[in-house]
Amino acid sequence: MFKPLLKKIFWPPHIWKAFTAKKNQKNLKRSAEDPQLKLYDQILKTGFLHYGYFDDPTKPADAISFNDIRQAQIRYAELIIEQICNEKGTVLDVGCGMGGLIGLLLERNLQPTGITPDRVQINYISKKYPQAKLIHAKFQKMPVDDYKHFFDTVIHSESLQYMGLDKAINNVLAILKPGGRWVVIDYFRVDEAHEKSGHKWQEFTKKLEENNLEIIYKHDITANIKPTLDFIYMWGNEIGKPIFEFLTAKLEKKHPGKHYLVQEIIEKLLRKIDKNLDIVNPEVFIKDKNYVLVSIEQRAD
């Protein structure tokens, strides 16, 4: 009984088949995300995946529509574009997502380049904006020598939180033109936050100081993204989680044996749902983090 197994382990063609099968599985998994991006695009119709910006931060969650979310996302992008000095300059959108910002930059006759390590996003943007320039790489590993002092503006929109500050700053300094501007819009932790994503604000400003960089513009938009958090939290608690619990209860009633087999998975999913809801809990978020838009330039001296 072991002979076929040993043959597959030690005969090179079978090893290669096993490797390519695993690789193809990963490719299928990534390809499966195409419908997910299409779904976001059909619902939001903006190409954005960020929290948006509400001019009226007091708008209650139950009064918010999907159109309000769309308008808030466009308003958020407009705030970023307002920080671009060279109106016809070169712009790098770091972590360009679905390409929403790239689309607006193209409309304004700027010269945007998007960078993302995600192949699915690259393919999606290429189809939607065939004229867009794209770099398929992590920002930390981008070929900086090919873009030495090339960009008038570098934008990190909800993407800096995923990068080490030293490497990110070094790359920005390498690719930014003299007199260029680095625009960062992201959330930062305040002291010891309950949820550990995002850089600490004190560490961020310290790194800027060490690299002769200064903040020339700062806008705290924490209150303005709160309506989106309220909206997501309400939908998760009042619609999403109850539907999930209803479906699992129905499974237990109609198919108790199948429910028993997947009970541990269901419990893990419920814990994950609670954890994700905790992340977007508006009260926890505002207590732990500040969401800030900053424009940064090198000091003249």
Strand order of the β-sheet with 111-116 is 133-136, 111-116, 90-94, 151-157, 176-189, 289-298, 213-220
pLDDT (0 to 100) of residue 284: 86
pLDDT (0 to 100) of residue 23: 40
DSSP letters, 184-217, are EEEEEE-SS-SS--S-BHHHHHHHHHHTTEEEEE
Domain boundaries, the chain: 61-222+287-298, 224-284
pLDDT (0 to 100) of residue 25: 43
pLDDT (0 to 100) of residue 90: 97
SS3 176: strand
pLDDT (0 to 100) of residue 8: 44
Model pTM greater than 0.85?
no
**Whole-angstrom Cα distance, residue 231 to residue 225?**
10
Q: From residue 262, give the alpha-carbon distance in Å to each of 71, 241, 245, 255, 274.
A: 41, 18, 14, 11, 19
pLDDT per position as a tens digit, 184-213: 999 999 876 556 678 999 999 999 999 999
pLDDT (0 to 100) of residue 22: 41
Pairing relationship of beta strands 90-94 and 111-116 according to DSSP bridges: parallel
pLDDT (0 to 100) of residue 105: 96
**Whole-angstrom Cα distance, residue 78 to residue 66?**
19
pLDDT (0 to 100) of residue 12: 45
Residue identified by tokens 């479906």 is: 247
Task: Classify residue 26 by its DSSP letter.
Answer: H
For 61-222+287-298, which CATH class? alpha beta
**Whole-angstrom Cα distance, residue 73 to residue 80?**
11
Ranges under pLDDT 70 in the chain? 1-46, 192-196, 301
Output the six-digit token pair for 217: 């513009």
Query: CB 282: neighbour CB atoms within 10 A?
Result: 19
User: What residue spans of 32-147 are helical by DSSP H?
Assistant: 34-44, 66-82, 100-107, 119-128
